[in-house]
Amino acid sequence: MSDDLLISVENVTLRFGGVVSLRDVSLEMRRGEILAVIGPNGAGKTSLFNSITGVYQPQEGSITYFSSKAPPLKVIGKKTYRIAQLGVSRTFQASRLFSALTVFENVKIGAEDHGGIGIAGALVKGPRTRRGEHASDRVAISQLEFVGLMNEAGTVASQLSYGARRRLEIARALATGPELILLDEPAAGTNPSEKLELTNLIRRVRDERGVSVLLIEHDMKLVMALAERLYVLNFGSVIAEGTPQEIRENQVVVDAYLGTHDQASA
Ligand SMILES: Nc1ncnc2c1ncn2[C@@H]1O[C@H](COP(=O)(O)OP(=O)(O)OP(=O)(O)O)[C@@H](O)[C@H]1O
Ligand SMILES: [Mg+2]
């Protein structure tokens, strides 16, 4: 599977004291894929995202990111901003929106942050930041149109419905112009119609923006509808990899996770 690799995770082990969050994890993702990571609570899914984005530093193994703009990057030990600059963006399991700012301001901060101004600079708007102002306005507007939130541009983020908040998080992550977006439970807390909207939006992120999508999600309907391939984590280890159909039919996965979970989200 070496054709057009985007991310290669090789034998990664991550420990916190006595807790092993990732145990000899290997994973490959191709450019243009929608790839999912599923598994029970505490399986290590978010730890994997944190390792790919430079938040956590695994003690063993290697992670290589193949940007189209730069030579292959060995991720472990690199700063989060450096990895982000090369095109890796993410959303968080727990919302990190600025709830007192408007929808527009939230996305604009994402766009300006990428310009090296930083969130503090974007908020203070010193002379240094004005230069990038119009460009980041345009970027923000384009993301809001894309996620269907342009009519809410002036709304304070805390006033949004849950589904709209989750779409805003995706808009903000897209504002940095990523090649790869990591979505950590993007549909958590949303209702069925919002889940359907998010499913369509995530597919459009890949199809229309050409951004590769690595997705963590507990909702099996959403995951199976979107992902072309899945990895299953359990207690920090990869227990299966395959297409949605292969994963559904894998008895080890059914026993460890899907047996109870499929019913819950059916
Ligand atoms: N910063 C940390 N310090 C200590 N332990 C951690 C840390 N981050 C993660 N862990 C541990 O690593 C394990 C995996 O956690 P992780 O958050 O990656 O799971 P997850 O698969 O994302 O679970 P969930 O579905 O509940 O979000 C857990 O035992 C967790 O307590
Ligand atoms: Mg998690």
Same domain, 197 and 167: no
137, 108 contact by CB (below 8 A): yes
67 vs 70: CA distance, rounded Å: 6
135 vs 233: CA distance, rounded Å: 41
- pLDDT tens for the 266 residues of the chain, in order: 447 999 999 999 999 999 999 999 999 999 999 999 999 999 999 999 999 999 999 999 999 999 998 999 999 999 999 999 999 999 999 888 999 999 999 999 878 765 444 445 455 555 555 556 688 899 999 999 999 999 999 999 999 999 999 999 999 999 999 999 999 999 999 999 999 999 999 999 999 999 999 999 999 999 999 999 999 999 999 999 999 999 999 999 999 888 866 544 44
Q: Ligand 1 pocket test: which of 9, 16, 215, 232 has the largest number of ligand atoms within 8 Å of its C-beta?
A: 16
For the CA of 45, the nearest atom of ligand 1:
21
Same domain, 255 and 219: yes
> Which pTM value belongs to this model?
0.91
Kindly state the tokens that stand for 119.
């969130």
Domain hosting residue 124, numbered range: 96-177
Residue 140's closest CA among 130, 131, 150? 150
Q: What is the domain count for the chain?
A: 2
Last residue of a domain, one of 136, 152, 177: 177
Give the distance (Å) from ligand 1 centre to CA of residue 234: 12
Same domain, 263 and 247: yes
233 vs 231: CA distance, rounded Å: 7
Residue owning the nearest CA to atom 30 of ligand 1: 42
Give the domain CATH number at 83. Answer: 3.40.50.300
